[in-house]
Structure 1
Amino acid sequence: MPPPPKPSRHATRGLKSIVEVGPVVSLATRARELDQLDRQLRATLPAPMRDQIRFADLRDGRLVFLAPSSAWASRVRLYQTQILEAARAIGAKAHSVAVKVAPLPPEEVIPDRHKPLSTEAARHLRSAAASLSDPTLRDLFLYLALQAENED
C-alpha cells in the first residue's frame, strides 16, 4: 500500500478532508491491519475460543491477545505454538504470545423509553392543565393525560 499523502502546510483555509490529516490516516491504516490480523489469527482457533478472545496488538514481535478471564487466557497459552505458526504463515513477524485478562465491557442496556403514566399522573396533568393560561401548553398537558388514560 502506498504511503498516505503528506498534508500541505500551506493550505490552511477551510475544512480539510480526513484523508489529508496524516496522523488520522496512519491510525486508520494501523487499525485496519490489526483488524485483519485479528480475523486471520482467530480463524485458526477452535470456535469457543475464537468467540471469547480478541487480538490486541503486534509489537516488537509479540502478539498480544485479550481474554475475558484467566481461564480463557490459559487456553490461549495452550495454543500459542499454533498461533505463532499461523502468524508466520500470513507474514507477521512474531516470536511470542502474550495474553492479558481484560473482561469485556458489560452490554449496554437500553431502557424502555415507553413507560406508561399512571392514572394518578393523568389526574395531576389535568389539574396542572386547568391552571395554565397558555392554550398550547394546556393542550399538551391534556394530550399527555389522555394518553395515560387510554393506556389503562
Structure 2
Amino acid sequence: MSDSRSPRRPAPQPALDALLKEPAGDVVRRALWLDELDRRLRPCLPEPLAAHARLANVDRNRLVFVVDAPVWRARLRLAAPEILDAARSFGLGATELVVRTALDCTGSRPAAPLRPHRSLAPRSAETQEALRAALASLSSADPEPGDAP
C-alpha cells in the first residue's frame, strides 16, 4: 500500500533533456545536428578518406570539413562535387566545400607522440660531464659589447 500523505516526486529528467532546456541547449542541439549530418555524409566519402575527415561546420552555403593531414585535404577537395550533391539531397543549400587541416580531427585515435629524430640512448658519465662543461663555458662567456662574435 502506498502512503497518500507522502509527496509525489517528479520523475528525474535525463541529463541530455535537462541540458537542452538550458540556455546552452542551442549549442548542444547544433553539435548534435552537425554530428548527425557528419554521419549521413560519411558514406559519401571515398573509403580511405572517411576515417580521416570530419564535418566541422555548416556556414551558410559552405560545408567545412577538417582532415588530419594535407594528403587527405587534397583528396577531399577532389571529392567535393559528390559531397556537395549529397548535402543538397539532404536539404542543405551547400555550394562550397572548405577543408581545414588539423591534427587528429576524428577523435578515433590518440595523437601520435612526437618521436625524436634519433634514438636517445643513455649517455655515459664522460658524455654528460662534457655536455655540462660545454654548457658552463657558454653561459660564462659573456661577450663584451664591442667584441665581434
2:53 alignment counterpart: 53
Determine helix, strand or coil for the equivalent of 1:43. Answer: helix
1:86 alignment counterpart: 86
2:110 alignment counterpart: 107
- Structure 2 residues not aligned, in runs of 5+: 1-17, 113-149
CA contact (8 A) 2:20 2:26 kept: no
Question: What amino acid does structure 2 have at the position aligned with 1:78?
Answer: L
Which structure would you say has the larger RCO, counting Cα contacts within 8 Å and 6 or more residues apart?
A: 2
Deviations 1:91-126 (A, max 9, x none): 1121100000111177179xxxxxxxxxxxxxxxxx
2:21 alignment counterpart: 20
Determine helix, strand or coil for the equivalent of 1:107. Answer: coil
TM normalised by structure 2 equals 0.57
Q: What displacement does 1:19 show?
A: 3.9
Cα 1:86–1:19 shift into 2, 3 Å:
closer
Q: Partners of 1:108 and 1:59 in 2: how far apart?
A: 27
TM normalised by structure 1 equals 0.56
Deviations 1:8-65 (A, max 9, x none): xxxxxxxxx434312x211111011100111111111122111111110000210000
Q: Partners of 1:86 and 1:101 in 2: how far apart?
A: 22
Q: Partners of 2:38 and 2:51 in 1: how far apart?
A: 12
Identity %: 34
The alignment yields a C-alpha RMSD, in angstroms, of 1.9
Task: Report the number of matched residues.
Answer: 92
